Amino acid sequence: MTSVTTWQPRRLLLQAVIFLAFACHWAVLATMPASNAKFYTIYWNSSNPIFRIDNTDNIIDVNRNNVKFEYDQVDLICPVYTPGTRDDETEKYIIYNVSKDEYETCRITNPNPRIIAVCDKPYKLMYFTITFRPFTPQPGGLEFLPGHDYYFISTSTSDDLHRRIGGRCTTHNMKIVFKVWGPPPAPVTASPPPPATAKPSWWSVASPRTTASSTTWMTSTTAPSTSSTTKKSKTYSKHPNEVVKSEELTLGSSAPTAAKLIVLACLAALAMR
């Protein structure tokens, strides 16, 4: 009895854990976004209407609006025939990845072109799958970068599989463009102007200059004029000896006047007695 009672709680706990795990799993799946990756199938033969020259079905946009790490795929299916079909009624191709100029002229000028597929076994089902991702797990594989175009053509003829000029690229328009979608470029915003730097301003400063007679300014064009000056305030430009002689003459001329005043004072004093 004891073993039965201990087993049931463990079993219930295990069932609860399993139920919880499944509930979490479905909750995660419900929150994941739906896949937007697309799959294309292209029959690479001359009777496919995708190669008609009067339409643009051979221009295919890939990876448009896909979520991150989801990439479109395309299957290139080679022509296949039932056993017993004559060999001259079969179609064989080599599909090349070429430049835009080679695509437009149907002329392969690259001496080592990149080969995408070789359809040379008409009685066997052959197809080649291409994933439009920007990286490749194989060395030397083709990478499809966002915003770029990739051009595929076939220049083979019924009697020359390796022909690289014209062929069914010219006669049956057997060429395709895959345009890998890329996010629109970010709008270009004008950069703010650089901050204005203050330019140094130079101001003319007048420096005073002192002379013997007056003070003038270096920026003045005319010196101030004086109405009258005495001999002592006059600016001397003569020799120092000449200045001393002039002062002696001035003092000498005032000495007789003082002697006359003394004599007159003495006479006035005698008269009063």
The pLDDT of residue 255 is 47
Q: Which residues pair with 152 in a beta bridge?
A: 97, 176
Structural domains present in the chain: 38-180 (2.60.40.420)
DSSP annotation of 119 reads: E
Residue type, 246: S
The pLDDT of residue 226 is 45
Task: Please give the share of the chain, as a percent, with pLDDT higher than 90.
Answer: 47
Q: Which long-range contacts (CB under 8 A, 24 or more apart) does 164-173 make?
A: 164/107, 164/108, 164/113, 165/106, 165/107, 165/108, 166/106, 166/107, 167/106, 168/46, 168/93, 169/106, 170/106, 172/46, 172/51, 173/51, 173/52, 173/53, 173/58
pLDDT in tens, 39-48: 999 999 999 9
The pLDDT of residue 121 is 95
In the predicted structure, residue 22 carries a pLDDT above the cut 90 = no
Cα–Cα distance for residue pair 73/62, rounded to 1 Å: 8
pLDDT in tens, 100-122: 999 999 999 999 999 999 999 99
Start-to-end Cα distance in the chain: 177
pLDDT in tens, 108-167: 999 999 999 999 999 999 999 999 999 988 887 889 999 999 999 999 999 999 999 999
The burial class, CB within 10 Å (0-12 / 13-18 / 19+), for 50 is: middle
pTM for the predicted model, two decimal places: 0.58
CB-CB contact of 90 with 152 (8 Å):
no
